[in-house]
Amino acid sequence: MNQTKLSPANIVILAAGILMLIGSFLAFYEFSFALAGATHTESISTWSSGLFGIATTIVICGVIMGGQVALNAFGSNVSIPDKVLGFSWDQIHLALGFQAALMMIAFLVTSRAGLSLGVGFWLMLVAGIGLLVGAIMRVAGAKSNPFTAI
Amino acid sequence: MDGKTQPTTSELIIMIAGAVMLVASFLDFRFNASTWGSGNFPIATLLPLYGVIMAAQIALAKFANVSLPDQVAGFTWEQVHLALGLLAGLMAVGWLLTDVGDKQIGLWLEMLGGVALAVGAVMMQRERHTGAIR
């Protein structure tokens, strides 16, 4: 393990990425219905029909960010290019973190009719904001110490 | 960006896609509601918003000679276009895969627009020789 590469910013991104992945399998939306005199509660995750696709793109953002940090820190003999499509990894983290946070906030304020927000949603919301915060911390850290940028 | 030259192919693609996406945002997207309607806003509105931002930046720089900062949050404008274009393309694929019941005309146009933004942004890298796409 190369601990010198696990800056506080990368720890935040890694933790948020893991949280995002875990949250994606938990209840994103919940809804209750009455059947035979009893109230039942069902839930759907980001991998369920109706959410799989658009909500899964948020998970992809988190997995890419967390995966890059994990590979860079723990992957032995793993070579990651310094730039992808002309973007530095700090820029990729910033763009993906922004996208994840923006989409989770958009889901938060979208009208949901009879659906309520489940624990998976809240975990993903925290994770999305965490990804953006971590990305900003990376950029700020890179500016103050260019030797820990990647 | 040189404001006196004609728009390039990539710039035209992005401007047309942005305009189409803006118009389509007012058409039925899903649940018989537009991207501005209840249940869709703002999650579905992000896609046309990205298109409008990209198209507006090009239009302002090309036709209005508006002086814009060289960089935004450390991104050059070419990088902003590539990032927004690829994220729009990702959302377009996301909506394509999402089971929304009846995919309506607005959703199809937004998906096409999202893919067009991604294509236009990639072409822009080649046209402006940014080195991002070899």
pLDDT in tens, chain B (134 residues): 444 578 999 999 999 999 999 999 999 999 999 999 999 999 999 999 999 999 999 999 999 988 889 999 999 999 999 999 999 999 999 999 999 989 999 999 999 999 999 999 999 999 999 999 87
Cβ neighbours of B41 in A, within 8 Å? 110-111
Cβ neighbours of A51 in B, within 8 Å? 98
Q: Is A148 a domain residue?
A: no
In angstroms, the separation between the Cα of residue B13 and the nearest Cα of chain A is 20
B71-72 and A116-117 as β-strands: parallel, antiparallel, unpaired? unpaired
A83 beta partners: A88
Which of A52, A95, A106 minimises the CB distance to B83?
Answer: A95
CB contact under 8 A, B94 and A102: no
B71-72 and A29-35 as β-strands: parallel, antiparallel, unpaired? unpaired
Which of A91, A95, A113 minimises the CB distance to B39?
Answer: A113
Q: Is A147 a domain residue?
A: no
Residues B90 and A60: beta-carbon distance below 8 Å? yes
Q: Which residue has the tokens 């500016």?
A: A143
Stretch A88-110: mean pLDDT: 97
Q: Is A13 a domain residue?
A: yes
Q: Is A30 a domain residue?
A: yes
- CA atoms of A14 and B67, how far apart (whole Å): 39
ipTM of the modeled complex: 0.92
Domain CATH number, residue A77: 1.20.140
Which tokens is A37 given? Answer: 């005199």
Q: What is the pLDDT of residue A150?
A: 42
Which of A49, A53, A113 minimises the CB distance to B95?
Answer: A53
Which tokens is B84 given? Answer: 């927004």
One-letter amino acid for residue A81 of the chain? P
- CA atoms of B79 and B72, how far apart (whole Å): 9
Q: Is A69 a domain residue?
A: yes
Using a cut of 0.90, tell me whether the model's pTM lies above it: yes
Closest CA to B118 of B24, B47, B56, B41: B47
Q: How many structural domains does chain A have?
A: 1
How far from each other are the two terminal CA atoms of chain B, in whole angstroms?
21
**Tens digit of each residue's pLDDT (9 = 90 or more) over A1-12:** 555 568 999 999
Residue B38 DSSP symbol: T
Q: Is A12 a domain residue?
A: yes
Cβ neighbours of A132 in B, within 8 Å? none
With residue B71 as reference, give the H or E element that holds it.
Answer: strand B71-72
What residue numbers bound the domain in which A87 lies? 3-142
CB contact under 8 A, A52 and B130: no
Residues A12 and A137: beta-carbon distance below 8 Å? yes
Instruction: Report the chain A residue with the minimal C-alpha distance to residue B39.
Output: A111
- CA atoms of B13 and B26, how far apart (whole Å): 20
Q: Is A113 a domain residue?
A: yes
